[in-house]
Amino acid sequence: MSKVRIAGTGLTRFGRFPDRTGRDLFAEAGLAALDEASVEPGDVEHLYFGNFMGELAEHQGHMGPQMAEAVGVRAPATRYESACASSGVAVREAVRTVRTGEADVVLVGGAERMTNMGTAGATEGLSIAADDLYEIRAGMTFPAAYALMARAYFEEFGGSAEDLAHVAVKNHEHALPNEHAQFRSSITVEEALDAPRIADPLGLYDSCPITDGASAVVLVSDDYAERAGLDAPVAVTGTGQGGDNLALQDREYFARSPATADAAEEAYADAGIGPDDVDVAEVHDCFTIAEVLAVEALGFYDPGEGIGAARRGETTRNGDLPVNLSGGLKAKGHPVGATGVAQVVSLARLLSGTHPRASDAGDPRVGLAHNAGGTVASATVHVLEVVA
């Protein structure tokens, strides 16, 4: 099977752009990725696009062909929807397409337009990633759902709101030099703890923002990279996907993430590595407790140990395993359909030395991207390596 190399990456700034359309955002990211890769739109054989709520935010379905047109691609184009894991799933399908030899060049990306809906509209739109019959109609929102998960974690393993505040402080600090991040300002633990409570024990700084933005990567085969003379030293060497029951009340665990664990097990086996081989990670921290659950499910920490990782400095930029050097969803922003690919972009740039936090990571050779949907009813994990 061919190695799947990352030939080019593209990102918009993440933030509030209510007057920009989804196609406008994706055109910026997609064309930047093609330009960086020195790949012509006519060479793209498939376009895979992640988006969660285009029908609600823009009254627009059938977005694959629309995004292909926006970047000048005349090729089959497919939209993938898996809540906040939409473009993580798109990356997985793109990797498999290149590996099997079906295509040599795939453009994969995602975009979401959310701020035009307002806070109430975006909150309602996001809620459809939960179970309508048993959760949404009862008034469940995602801050409330993750608050339940945090309470369950504290009850089973211990921990406190102060531990979660350290996660928020860390990710805000990581985002400071990231020109694409929505929030580039530092916060203190005290400020995080004093902020308004959103759903106890989660406060304002425990929650990711509502965000507009787009991301894209060009994936190519070894053969194409060699024929075209491309400099593409970073490859996706492992991919995995896991799932769980949609509604929280139907889960075996509130304080663990089996979907992530299953996706990680598959991705590690696919890449031929283990969690100890990972140098840097981008994980799905839609809420601070989500990062804690992720680092445990990914095998970086035993259950109950991840809660203190940021406080101990282990996941900071100078720690043993830097997590979310981009700022994560918490500070970089979370345009849900774009997030999975944006994580891959951040890692590709860290591994190639072009990310503003690259020097903090030392000389990383292996990165991991974890993207989750809803309350982690779906999850993808991708392993990236420098293969030269």
Report the chain's terminal Cα–Cα distance, integer Å.
Answer: 17
Backbone angles phi, psi at 92, to 5 degrees: -60, -45
- Among 172, 174, 284, 334, the active-site one is 334
CA distance 112 to 338: 6
The two three-digit tokens of residue 133, written as one number: 């019959």
DSSP code of residue 51: -
CA distance 317 to 304: 22
Name the residue among 373, 375, 326, 347 with its Cα closest to residue 14.
326
What is the CB-side half-sphere exposure of residue 338 using CA atoms within 13 A? 37
Alpha helices in 100-200 (DSSP H): 118-127, 142-157, 161-175, 189-194
CA distance 240 to 220: 19
Query: Residue 72, class by beta-carbon neighbours within 10 Å (0-12 exposed, 13-18 middle, 19+ buried)?
Result: middle
The two three-digit tokens of residue 235, written as one number: 């490859």
The two three-digit tokens of residue 46, written as one number: 């498939």
Complete edge-to-edge strand list for the sheet that includes strand 213-221: 77-80, 46-50, 105-112, 213-221, 4-11, 234-243, 378-386, 366-373, 280-282
In angstroms, what CA-CA distances link 215 with 26, 30, 261, 344?
7, 7, 26, 9
Q: Does residue 37 contact residue 230 with C-beta atoms inside 8 Å?
A: yes
**Annotation says 180 is catalytic:** no
**Annotation says 334 is catalytic:** yes
Count other Cβ atoms within 10 Å, centred on residue 223. 12
Active site residues: 84, 334
